[in-house]
Structure 1
Amino acid sequence: MGQTVIKLKPEEMKRLVNHYSPYRESNKPPYSVLSATLNGCKITAYESGKVMFQGADHHKEASKWGTSSKTNSKSAKTPTKNVPDFINRDHIGSDEAGTGDYFGPITVAAVYATERQQALLRELGVKDSKTMKDPTIKSIVKDILKTDIVYSSLTLNNEKYNKLQRRGWSQGRMKAWMHHHAIKNVLNKLDGSINPSGILIDQFCKPEIFHNHVKATGETSHTGLTFMTKAESYSTSVAAASMIARYRFIYEMNRLSKDVGFELQKGASKVVDQQIKRIIDIKGQNYLNQVAKVHFANTQKAQAK
């Protein structure tokens, strides 16, 4: 289904709402002021001033009100290498956070969103989380969680992470295991009543290695998986999953910081090395197991200080 999005001023929005009120539908998406259908074209007006036209003659209907700020359709979309054909249809997307941070857990989220829900997510500000600061992510995710998307988020705490690592699990296997279960949880919530057009994972290893990782955990990998690097830049479902995963990671980092007694640094910098030394001096070496990925080289660097 093609769509056109325009941006209107308050006075223009009032005129549009009055015009389509006779065709108003009782159910409207969150943060919208109007949902109506006229001659096969669905019109959704949002509080932000954006109006989305979908379906029959969407561009023609939108042109009555202003210049389009974004037009999407299957035929109009510029082909991009390796972009799956289901990217603008309903699909599941998954992504993770915390893998490169010494302190804190790994978090993974999977999101199923329909075409309509993806449009709403974009309206709420969903995009690649790497382009946003944490306070912005937290604010947007709070709105995401109020919508009717189907999602699952998983957290691998540091104690279990370190236990698995000592058992010979690579971080890649842990991530594959978490992605597999997050997707499985979403599919279970859909309960077989919906068959997603696709499942897209933000690629962190070759597909065959991912499947081998899942097999090594005793599970059978899902069929029909698609892998794509920087998938959050193309898929709204993956972008939403990325933001939810980051939100959960931030939450856990704040909780751990309270336990430690000072704000833990994200990443794996020299500042992190200094904080490791401080934690060892205050709470002892064993305490790191509760808050950190202790196999990172930062541990040895801090001990050598």
Structure 2
Amino acid sequence: MGRFKETEIEKIVEKLKQCGAVFEPPPKHASYRIRLGDGILTIYSSGSLVYGGKDKERLKNIVMKVLSSSIDKTPRVGCDEAGKGEYVGPLVVSAVFADEFGIDKLLRLGVKDSKKLSDKKVLELSEKIREKVNGKVKILMPKSYNILYSKFKNLNKLLDYVYCELLKDLYRKFKFKKVVIDKYDNTLESELRKIFPKNMDIVVVNRAEDDPVVAAASIVARAERLRRMELLEKKYGISLPKGNKPEEIDTFLNNVPEELLPELVKTHFNIKRGDQG
């Protein structure tokens, strides 16, 4: 499961009290140790939940009912991207569609903002998300990205275009009435309103990853980027930096021929050989 907010934990604790749960002394770094039948729930100060015992599934079901009751179940598309700020590797944009039942499935998986998850967990969850809900992914490998960027000359305009095309494709299939996107500029909403019906509920907000459908899209996007980075490494026989740490970028640039860079990096980034030292 993910990390939960204090208000969510309060609701969980109150519900378990109503169910007759026994509250035992918590272990170190934990706020609660709660026993219900043969199930044990430990709630850590960080907001993490750990289940144990033979009745742990019963406890999970109770917790998920508490959480799902406070979450909007409107069928919707959630969107997010990975690789926007990274010099090396592809840009991946993901859109996930989930109806009421799909949202429940995502909650049971414990989806949360992919930035809070390890690479291993992201890859694992991505497969499960793809099994439970529908969606679409647009992958712009560096070569394609650079060609498209040369047309728009602006990253946000490029993203606006990709999101519009991706959502148009998804709309043809699912006719969704709501879309939630993590905000990166002030123009996307107006661009979307040009192409979708007037009654479309378009939500473009900061920290949209708090929405489980957006969190699912975030996980799928990051997982796909990880896979594509691995493919690039195998194809060219080099190690690629996952972020923008100066020392890693410097090592990378010192080991890659200049003519190969357009296949591996976003060339409009203001990074040159020797800049990182």
Shorter-chain TM band: 0.7 to 0.9
Offset of residue 98 of structure 1:
0.4
Could you tell me whether the CA contact under 8 Å between 2:38 and 2:56 is conserved in 1?
Answer: no
Cα distance between partner residues in 1 of 2:253 and 2:154: 23
Residue 274, structure 1, aligned to residue 251, structure 2: yes
Could you tell me whether the CA contact under 8 Å between 2:64 and 2:108 is conserved in 1?
Answer: no
SS in 2 for 1:88: coil
Partner residue of 2:195 out of 220, 225, 242: 220
Offset of residue 146 of structure 1:
1.6
Partner residue of 1:100 out of 58, 62, 85: 85
Pick closer, same or farther for the CA change 1:9–1:179 going to 2, 3 Å: farther
Residue 203, structure 1, aligned to residue 203, structure 2: no
Offset of residue 8 of structure 1:
8.3
CA distances 1:10-52 after superposition (whole Å, capped 9, x unpaired): 957xxxxxxxxxxxxxxxxxxxxxxxxxxxxxxxxx9855454
Equivalent residue number for residue 34 of structure 1 = none
SS in 2 for 1:288: helix
Pick closer, same or farther for the CA change 1:48–1:158 going to 2, 3 Å: farther
Question: 1:231 is aligned with what amino acid?
Answer: A
Cα distance between partner residues in 2 of 1:135 and 1:73: 26
CA distances 1:266-285 after superposition (whole Å, capped 9, x unpaired): 122211122022102xxxx1
CA distances 1:55-80 after superposition (whole Å, capped 9, x unpaired): xxxxxxx6xxxxx5762477xx5xxx
Equivalent residue number for residue 215 of structure 2 = 239
Alignment of 1:262-301 (within 5 A): 262-270=238-246, 271-280=248-257, 285-298=258-271, 300-301=272-273
Bigger Rg, which one:
1
Equivalent residue number for residue 169 of structure 1 = 153
Cα distance between partner residues in 2 of 1:47 and 1:107: 36
Cα RMSD (Å)? 3.2
Offset of residue 167 of structure 1:
2.8
What are the ranges of 5 or more consecutive residues in structure 1 without an aligned counterpart? 13-45, 53-61, 63-67, 78-85
Could you tell me whether the CA contact under 8 Å between 1:260 and 1:279 is conserved in 2?
Answer: no
Pick closer, same or farther for the CA change 1:142–1:69 going to 2, 3 Å: closer
Question: 1:239 is aligned with what amino acid?
Answer: A
SS in 2 for 1:145: helix
- Report the TM-score when normalising by structure 2: 0.72
Q: Percent identity at matched positions?
A: 24
- Report the TM-score when normalising by structure 1: 0.66
Equivalent residue number for residue 110 of structure 1 = 95
Pick closer, same or farther for the CA change 1:221–1:156 going to 2, 3 Å: farther
CA distances 1:250-289 after superposition (whole Å, capped 9, x unpaired): 1110011112212211122211122022102xxxx12111
Alignment of 1:21-36 (within 5 A): none
What are the ranges of 5 or more consecutive residues in structure 2 without an aligned counterpart? 1-10, 17-33, 40-54
SS in 1 for 2:131: coil
Question: 2:259 is aligned with what amino acid?
Answer: N
Cα distance between partner residues in 2 of 1:127 and 1:278: 36
Could you tell me whether the CA contact under 8 Å between 1:200 and 1:238 is conserved in 2?
Answer: yes
Could you tell me whether the CA contact under 8 Å between 2:80 and 2:217 is conserved in 1?
Answer: yes
Runs (4+) of structure 1 exceeding 3 A deviation are: 3-12, 46-52, 211-215, 219-224, 301-305
Question: 2:160 is aligned with what amino acid?
Answer: A
Could you tell me whether the CA contact under 8 Å between 2:68 and 2:104 is conserved in 1?
Answer: no
Residue 159, structure 1, aligned to residue 137, structure 2: no
Offset of residue 173 of structure 1:
1.4
Number of aligned pairs? 231
